[in-house]
Structure 1
Amino acid sequence: MEGRNLFNFGPALGYFFRKNDPDRKTNFNLRTMHFINKLSMAMFLVGLCVVLYRLFTR
């Protein structure tokens, strides 16, 4: 595994900011799943920032 691809966050950031595809059918379950995925990734990033902040301020 190459080092430059290790921290490639492009697909994850694209997941947050992509536009809706008008050709794809959607339903409540799919929208809910995507919302929960985005919420869990955001909570993880906030937690990571808190841990890094505490690590560097001690």
Structure 2
Amino acid sequence: MRTKDLFDFGPVFGYFFRKNDPNRKTNFNLRTMHFINKLSMSMFLVGFIVLLYRWFIR
């Protein structure tokens, strides 16, 4: 595995901005799981940005 492959964020952004597939059934559990995943990734990114701000700006 190359270093470039470790920093490939394409699938992450695709997860956030993909369209709903009309052929796939959804239910409450699946929608809730995806919401929690998106929320946790967003919170991680905000925390990471805060850490970078504290390390480099202050």
In the TM superposition, structure 1's runs of 4+ consecutive aligned residues that sit over 4 Å from their partners are: none
Q: 1:31: which partner in 2? A: 31
Q: CA deviation at 1:10?
A: 0.3
Q: Could you list the runs of 5+ residues in structure 2 that have no partner in the other structure?
A: none
| Normalised TM-score (structure 1) | 0.96
Q: 1:18: which partner in 2? A: 18
Please provide the CA RMSD for this pair: 0.6
Q: 2:6: which partner in 1? A: 6
Q: CA deviation at 1:36?
A: 0.2
Q: CA deviation at 1:7?
A: 0.3
Q: Could you list the runs of 5+ residues in structure 1 that have no partner in the other structure?
A: none
Q: CA deviation at 1:3?
A: 1.3
Structure 2 Cα separation of the partners of residues 36 and 24 of structure 1:
20
Post-superposition CA distance 1:1-58 (Å, at most 9, x none): 1111110000011000000000000000000000000000000000000000000023
| Normalised TM-score (structure 2) | 0.96
Aligned pairs, how many? 58
